[in-house]
Amino acid sequence: MNLFLDLWDTLYVDDPAEDVLRKRLRTDIICAFAADRRIESERAVKIWGEVADWAALRWRNEQRTASASDRFERFVHILRIVPDEHEAAAVVEAVEAVALEHPPKPMGGTEGFLKAFDHLPMIIISDTGQTPGRILRQILKQDGLFDHFDGFVFSDELGAAKPDRRAFDAARSLLPERSRRAPIVHIGDNSDTDISGALAAGLACIHLTKSPCEKHGQAELYSWAPSLTEAARLLQGQLEAT
């Protein structure tokens, strides 16, 4: 068996207070950039907020994530600013690095789950926003979890986000040769991205949810669990049955 795993709200959880702090720190970075161009902070905050609304709408309607670079490009476009290439790169890097200073935390059952199934190939498939794949790798390393995985598919690096079939195909390509014919189970919390995408790719899935999904609940390859710990029990039962 092979495991594909979502990251956000599957392996990692965001503390709301930390999320608010990250937003404030990122806004401060943008305001400092704007101040150097004599743009009032109130205007910069307003436009940065509009950019956030645009990013949320793009995600909701198109399942396309907006990176820090995407957001900054839109911000300067609205203001009709053409920043120096190196300065723009420095602003984007600073915005991305905020997540290293105030990172998300592994969910309660994450470490135990990864240890229990460390003998199986595991690939993370994660959509990214202002925290790109390179930063998420560093967070996984800081938490001592990086080495559990055989590969990573991050939307900012692939150029496609779940439920796009390319995300799941890319994960398949990272599996060790010896296990490519073994069944795959994808575990995630989002019915529109994780579950719709996995089922469309012909994969079995475990939906992390408090109750079965009406949209997918009757699918043969669909199962659900209220937590990662319960998902581990499901997987263990499947392994023992084979």
Average pLDDT over residues 113-129: 96
Rounded distance between C-alpha atoms, residue 137 and residue 177, angstroms: 23
Does 138 have pLDDT greater than 80? yes
Average pLDDT over residues 146-156: 97
Strand order, beta sheet including 151-154:
151-154, 122-126, 2-5, 184-188, 204-208, 222-225
Give the helix ranges, DSSP H, for 180-223: 196-200
pLDDT band for position 103 (cuts 50, 70, 90): very high
Does 59 have pLDDT greater than 90? no
Which pair of tokens denotes residue 95?
A: 């915005």
Q: What is the CA radius of gyration of the chain?
A: 19
Strand 122-126 relative to strand 151-154, pairing: parallel
Rounded distance between C-alpha atoms, residue 210 and residue 221, angstroms: 18
Which pair of tokens denotes residue 215?
A: 């949209």
Does 4 have pLDDT greater than 90? yes
Does 227 have pLDDT greater than 80? yes
**71-74 contacts: CB < 8 A, separation 24 or more?**
71/95, 71/130, 72/30
Does 217 have pLDDT greater than 80? no
Peptide bond into 176 cis (omega under 30): no
Largest CA distance in the chain: 67
pLDDT at 133: 97
CATH of 2-14+104-241, one of 3.30.1600.10, 1.10.3720.10, 3.40.50.1000, 3.40.50.1100: 3.40.50.1000
Q: List, in sequence order, every beta strand (DSSP E) within the chain.
A: 2-5, 12-13, 105-106, 122-126, 151-154, 184-188, 204-208, 222-225
pLDDT at 201: 96
Percentage of the chain surpassing pLDDT 90?
A: 86
pLDDT at 218: 79
